[in-house]
Structure 1
């Protein structure tokens, strides 16, 4: 393991000598991730992007990109843009990145099933804010708003998310 690795443990997310409470997918951790299964995939995932809501928070890192009004994430396994950021209008199944709630005010993108997605293997495995402590996700890793904002500026191109 590298010093900048983030590691999911039974007690939380370990990063740079600290432990941060986190939530995982509602069906736990899996080696056989499928679209819509609610599970967090095992593996060593690179952090490949950072998105933020510029109308709600300051830019968390100089490489972070703002979430625009029309930004979406395709979760349609039958479409060529599956597991990619797309823009509205988009008639295929997708998730809005600019949400009314604060869950995606700051999003760390992982390389799960990206950039060459296998259809149906799962999409949008992000790190984002949780609803409340212990509330599960649809497969993402979620942290408190404060902890996510503490972690974000410390992430480098070498940072990996490890889910044993």
Structure 2
């Protein structure tokens, strides 16, 4: 699936201001399904599951940034961890570390190490930004390892992550600041129109769409 990512900011109690974007993004090859985060987990309908090829919909905290480099790109100022051969993100629902970042001994690796290791020389994982779906605490089988990362091609969707061109991912990384409490909202357009007010999201007209008229009650 395709979408557009836009960055917005607001002071407490203030109006939303667009600061960057739109950036073309790709996500779940099989669409989206409700995830578990700040909002979305109580919605009726299809739920995100492990290996379903769907991206989690809802609102999520943005977690740590991971990468191959010793430090963030110039201008970056956010929680960062340089990954090595010892860094693993478990996607095995049977594991007590499911959907968690762990550091292991590469000389005595656990099961699924090859599949789960975070540094494999893959250009798409050069930078990763954690999308905190199913994190507090992780529910086995509800989906794991959801990140922003570099796209593998302009027409190649993902199995659940959100991907974009490298230069746009770097812009996102350098925009992040912990004091802003950054979050990610992923919604289909029709769901966004229903929920933006109650979820305190930017109004549709902030990115060139008209909000649907309210019917009298």
TM-score normalised by the chain length of structure 2 = 0.66
Give the structure with the larger helix fraction: 2
CA distance in 1, matches of 2:51, 2:3: 25
CA distance in 1, matches of 2:92, 2:20: 38
Match of 1:59 in 2: 72
Match of 2:110 in 1: 90
Shift of 1:11: 4.2
Residue segments in structure 1 that go unaligned for 5+ positions in a row: 1-8
CA distance in 1, matches of 2:3, 2:116: 29
Shift of 1:83: 0.3
**TM superposition outliers: structure 1 runs of 4+ over 6 Å:** none
Question: What do the CA deviations read for 1:5-36 (whole angstroms, capped 9, x no partner)?
Answer: xxxx9641111342001110110111210000
TM-score normalised by the chain length of structure 1 = 0.86
CA distance in 2, matches of 1:10, 1:73: 26
Question: What do the CA deviations read for 1:58-81 (whole angstroms, capped 9, x no partner)?
Answer: 523343110112211100101100
For CA contacts below 8 A with separation 6 or more, give which structure has more relative contact order: 1
SS of residue matched to 1:42: strand
Shift of 1:156: 2.1
Count of residues in correspondence between the two structures: 154
Quick check: 2:25–2:163 contact (8 Å CA) kept in 1? yes
Match of 2:51 in 1: 36
Residue segments in structure 2 that go unaligned for 5+ positions in a row: 8-18, 35-46, 188-217
Root-mean-square deviation (CA, aligned residues, Å) is: 1.8
1:115 and 1:99, CA in 2 relative to 1: closer, same or farther beyond 3 A? farther
CA distance in 1, matches of 2:166, 2:20: 19
1:14-163 correspondence runs (5 A) = 14-15=6-7, 16-31=19-34, 32-54=47-69, 58-60=71-73, 61-62=76-77, 63-86=79-102, 87=104, 88=106, 89-92=109-112, 94-157=115-178, 158-163=181-186
